[in-house]
Amino acid sequence: MLEARELHKSFDDRHVLKGVTFGVGPGEIRVLIGLNGCGKTTLQRIITGILEPDSGSIRIGGEEITALPPEERQLGYVPQNTGLFPHLSVRENILYSLKNGRGSVESFHGMVELLGLETYLDLKPKQLSGGYRSRVSLARALASSPRAMLLDEPITEVDRAKKEFVLPLFRETLLGLKIPVLYITHDPWEAGEIGTSFSIMKGGVMSPISSPEEAFAVIRQEARDSGE
């Protein structure tokens, strides 16, 4: 399980996270929905180890990882802009995740086949469409055999038509691994296409919701309020 307990984070006098608590079980894709500025990015940075919380804890598989550096967390991470190295080939980008002794050549081949990347291994990222760059980024994260996954707006480079193909592929791939997955997005439609459970972030607090439609209603009302 991927768990957070009572995470608090402030910057100067701005209290960004206010006791964030959640749990994601094996085989669950929990989608976190929220507008810009609600605290999603701060939470992502704390989970990945870029930021330290003021208080609270993070656990993976019952092990506390709050004080561990990013490379020791065994957390697969797919960032918003794919984070691929432009000078490396697709093959080299995916294999890069094995440098810390995690994963294997077998896991590399498994992810390449699962995500349909066999014919693209010698290409550079700039030669790929946004959808395929997203696939490579996912393959790189999964080839390291992570204990949990965090995806932060991972297909922003992909247009809506291609998302309708990419999202089911991502969903099937992630569910097949039976590990906890936290998927961050601002798009309720995208959330509904990939998630098995849902939460909303509002004002630094993360709360479970029953559906993406519920998040959409909250976000729409919040946008109306901010415009008044």
- The answer to whether the beta carbons of residues 17 and 7 sit under 8 Å apart is yes
What residues are paired with 29 via a beta bridge?
181
Q: For the chain, 228 residues long, give each residue's pLDDT as a single digit of tens.
A: 999 999 999 998 899 999 999 999 999 999 999 877 788 889 999 999 999 999 999 999 999 999 999 989 999 999 888 889 999 999 999 998 787 667 788 889 989 998 999 999 999 999 999 889 999 999 999 998 999 999 998 888 788 888 888 899 999 999 999 999 999 998 888 899 999 999 998 888 999 998 888 877 776 666 676 654
The pLDDT score that the predictor gives to residue 172 is: 92
Backbone angles phi and psi of 92, in degrees to 5: -70, -35
- Whole-number Å distance between alpha carbons of 8 and 38: 13
- Whole-number Å distance between alpha carbons of 44 and 188: 18
The pLDDT score that the predictor gives to residue 222 is: 66
Angle between helices 105-114 and 130-143 (to 10 degrees): 150
The pLDDT score that the predictor gives to residue 227 is: 58
- The answer to whether the beta carbons of residues 48 and 206 sit under 8 Å apart is no
- Whole-number Å distance between alpha carbons of 192 and 181: 15
- Segment 219-223 long-range contacts (CB within 8 Å, at least 24 positions apart): 219/33, 219/34, 219/35, 219/186, 219/188, 222/35, 223/35
pTM: 0.90
CATH topology of domain 70-196: Rossmann fold (3.40.50)
Backbone angles phi and psi of 113, in degrees to 5: -70, -45
